């Protein structure tokens, strides 16, 4: 067996650096799409690092400001089964900054190169997050072609969360392109949809009045929803609210809502929205197979808006949902 071992310097005091490697809202700034953390010895964690790929296990050491150690395994791989490897992060103060040494033990010679590539990528992002507060969009998180509807929902969640992190208190009463909704009202509408669709998949959803800002509340609800669907699977039918539908359709709606409302929030607040063409094309296909004439008649979506032949897939998606892509 072998190990990966690297030290990076983070421009934070040890307590703040420890938060960056242990708190869900901070982990999402550099490492994860979603993070569930029970921060105590024996507590469980689940980190979705990129869509469709989650690490999980238990904490074996938790010393705030000094050390974090956890059992590590990839849920989607038999190559690194539960209990076969550990990740330890040791924090050492250094002239107002903190050195963080990460050691991943229990890797085979064949596994070490791929894990080194992953850890080097994310440790570089950790250093940036320590300096700037946020490492910015992670190309790895949206570059993959979704393998199923759940992975598609996780990929669009990445885009949505990047926009939600840019919201300020002054933005909440701004009007959005989504008819009759302010930013605050649209956030509540989105949370209601996530709770309904997540509950249909068996997710244990946060309460409607859960604390936190918009990004935290959406991230927590979305993680619970996608975890529920991962556990349940995509077979059969479900009934969110009073409407029965195929399970694949229910999860497709999550992906559509995440990406289209990301555009709504970005447009309302003047933020740039970067969406890879393959992801926008994927969600456009979901929308074309999911949005029915009945849903337009009910007011859930407007009639499609014409676009030019040179329109990209994101513009076509926005227009298909009844919005003008050039407000």
The boundaries of the domain holding residue 194 are: 142-320
Beta partners for 70? 59, 87
Task: Report the distance separating Cα 168 and Cα 139, nearest Å.
Answer: 24
- 96 within some domain: yes
- 325 within some domain: no
Say if residue 146 is in the same domain as residue 295. yes
Query: Whose CA is closest to 137, among 33, 12, 8?
Result: 33
pLDDT in tens, 167-213: 999 999 999 998 789 999 999 999 999 999 999 999 999 999 999 99
Beta partners for 246? 237
CATH of the domain at 282: 1.20.120.450
Say if residue 120 is in the same domain as residue 229. no
Tell me the mean pLDDT in the region 75-86: 84
Please state, as a whole number, how many other Cβ atoms lie within 10 Å of the Cβ of residue 149: 22
pLDDT in tens, 18-48: 999 999 999 999 999 999 999 999 999 999 9
pLDDT in tens, 152-173: 999 999 999 999 999 999 999 9
pLDDT band, residue 269 (cuts 50/70/90): very high
Query: Whose CA is closest to 131, among 17, 22, 31?
Result: 17
Phi and psi for 69 in degrees, rounded to 5?
-135, 140
The two three-digit tokens of residue 325, written as one number: 């892509």
The two three-digit tokens of residue 26, written as one number: 């901070």
Are residues 292 and 304 in contact, defined by beta-carbon separation less than 8 angstroms? no
Cα 61-9-97 angle, rounded to 5 deg: 90
Query: Whose CA is closest to 283, among 327, 246, 316?
Result: 316
User: What's the number of domains the chain is made of?
Assistant: 2
């Amino acid at each position: 067996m072998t190990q990966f071992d690297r030290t990076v310097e983070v421009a934070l005091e040890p307590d703040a650096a420890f938060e960056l490697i242990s708190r869900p809202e901070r982990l999402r700034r550099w490492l994860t799409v979603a993070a569930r953390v029970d921060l105590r010895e024996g507590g469980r964690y689940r980190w979705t690092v990129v869509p469709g790929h989650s690490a999980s296990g238990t904490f074996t050491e938790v010393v705030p400001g000094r050390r974090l150690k956890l059992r590590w395994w990839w849920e989607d791989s038999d190559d690194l089964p539960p209990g076969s490897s550990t990740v330890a992060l040791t924090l050492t103060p250094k002239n107002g900054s903190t050195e963080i040494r990460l050691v991943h033990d229990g890797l085979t010679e064949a596994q070490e190169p791929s894990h080194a590539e992953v850890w080097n990528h994310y440790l570089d992002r950790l250093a940036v997050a320590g300096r700037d507060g946020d490492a910015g969009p992670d190309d790895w998180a949206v570059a993959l072609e979704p393998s199923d509807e759940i992975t598609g929902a996780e990929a669009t969640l990445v885009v949505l969360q990047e926009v939600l992190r840019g919201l300020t208190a002054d933005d909440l009463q701004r009007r959005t392109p989504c008819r009759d909704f302010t930013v605050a009202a649209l956030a509540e509408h989105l949370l209601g949809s996530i709770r309904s669709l997540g509950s249909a998949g068996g997710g244990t959803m946060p309460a409607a009045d859960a604390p936190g800002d918009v990004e935290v509340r959406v991230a927590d609800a979305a993680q619970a929803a996608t975890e529920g669907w991962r556990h349940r699977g995509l077979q059969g039918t479900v009934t969110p609210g009073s409407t029965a539908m195929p399970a694949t359709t229910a999860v497709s709606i999550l992906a559509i809502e995440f990406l289209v409302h990301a555009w709504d929030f970005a447009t309302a607040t003047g933020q740039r929205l970067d969406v890879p063409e393959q992801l926008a094309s994927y969600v456009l296909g979901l929308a074309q197979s999911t949005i029915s004439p009945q849903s337009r008649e009910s007011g859930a979506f407007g009639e499609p808006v014409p676009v030019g032949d040179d329109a990209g897939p994101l513009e076509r998606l926005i227009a298909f949902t009844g919005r003008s892509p050039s407000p």
